[in-house]
Structure 1
C-alpha cells in the first residue's frame, strides 16, 4: 500500500513539473522573453547588464510606435539580437542635421525632442526614406550605437518584441513606454 501511494505521489510530482515546463515554454515562445542588455548603445536608458522583459504579443495586435524601445534580430545575422529605439516609421523620410532628428511624413516635418539621449550625443548628418514595413532604429547613446545609420532600415519581420520592464538591477526596476513627442 505504501509503495502504491509513493508511486501516485511521484506521478503527481512528474505531472506538475511537466505542466510547469510546458507553461514556461509557451510563455517564452509566444508571450514574453527575458533579454540581457549587452553594451553601451542604449545608455543612459539601459545599462550593460540590465535584465529586461520583452512583450512578444504587442505587435500582433498593433503597429510599433515611434519612440518605443524594441528587441529585434540584427539584419546582418539573425542569430544576434539588438535593442534600439524606433525613430522612423514605414513610409517616412528621416533626416539628421546638426544633431537634430527630423521626420517627414506626408509633407509634414517633425523635429524630435529626445530627452532620453546620452549627454553630448553626437551624430553626423544622414537621410533615408523608409519603404513599407521598414523602421529606422537608433540607440540612445548615439556616439556608441551600431544602428540603422550603419546597417540600414529594420524590416518588420525581424522585430521580436517591445521592451516593457527592466527587472534587474532591483534598484532600477521600472515599466517603460514610448515618449510623447510634441
Structure 2
C-alpha cells in the first residue's frame, strides 16, 4: 500500500538528465506531493511517456500552465524572460517558437538538452500523467541523498 499511494522506486534509464542524474541511478519518487499541490518550475518529475504510457520517463518541469515557453539560441525563455538554469550540461542545440502551455499541461525538458526526448519534441505534458516528484537517490551508494531540485522564487 505504501508503494501504491505514497512512494515508488524508479530507475533512471539513459543520460537525458545528466549531469543531475546518472544512467541506472535508482530513486524513490514521492507520489503524495502532487495530490496535495502542483508541480513547480525546477521540480524533477516521473511521468508516463506520452508516446507509450507503459513506460515512465523523468524530466525537469520548465514551464507551467498559462505560461509561454520559447527556446532561442540555446536559451529558455518563460513569458519572454530568460530562465537561469545552472543544472544543464550546456545549451540546447535547437529552437522552439513561443509555445503557450494550456491549463493542466507542463513543459518538461531533460537537463542534457542535446540528448533528451522531451517537450521540445513531443509537446506539453498532461499533469494527469505525472506520477510524482523524484525525492531520494539510493543507488549507487556514492549518489545517496536527496534529489536536487532548482527553486525559483518568481519568473524566472
Q: Above 0.5 in TM-score? A: yes
Given the alignment, which residue of 120, 140, 143 partners 1:169?
Answer: 140
* Structure 2 CA distance for aligned equivalents of residues 123 and 59 of structure 1: 32
Structure index of larger Rg: 1
Match of 2:71 among 96, 109, 119: 96
Distance 1:138 1:129 in 2: 15
> What residue is the counterpart of 2:19 in the other structure?
44
**1:56 pairs with 2:31:** yes
Q: Is the 8 Å Cα contact of residues 41 and 151 (structure 2) preserved in structure 1? A: no
What is the rounded CA distance, in whole Å, between the counterparts of 2:76 and 2:43 in structure 1? 16
Alpha-carbon distance between aligned partners in 2 of 1:173 and 1:179, rounded to the nearest angstrom: 18
Offset from partner CA, 1:45-74 (integer Å, 9 cap, x none): 011010000000000101110010000001
Structure 2 stretches of 5 or more lacking a match? none
Residue 168 of structure 1: CA displacement? 0.8
Q: Which residue of 2 aligns with 1:126?
A: 96
Question: Per-residue deviation at 1:122?
Answer: 2.6
Residue equivalent to 1:17: none
- Verify: 1:68 aligned to 2:68, yes or no: no
RMSD: 1.2
Compute the TM-score of the two structures, normalised by the length of structure 2. 0.93
What is the aligned partner in structure 1 of residue 106 from structure 2?
Answer: 135
Offset, 1:177: 4.5
Superposition deviation, residue 121 in structure 1: 3.5
1:79 equivalent to 2:54? Answer yes
Q: Which has the higher helix share?
A: 1
Deviates more, 1:49-58 or 1:121-130: 121-130
Retained in 2: the 8 A contact 1:65–1:178?
A: no
2:53 alignment partner, SS class: coil
Q: Check the 8 A contact 1:66/1:178 in 2, yes or no.
A: no
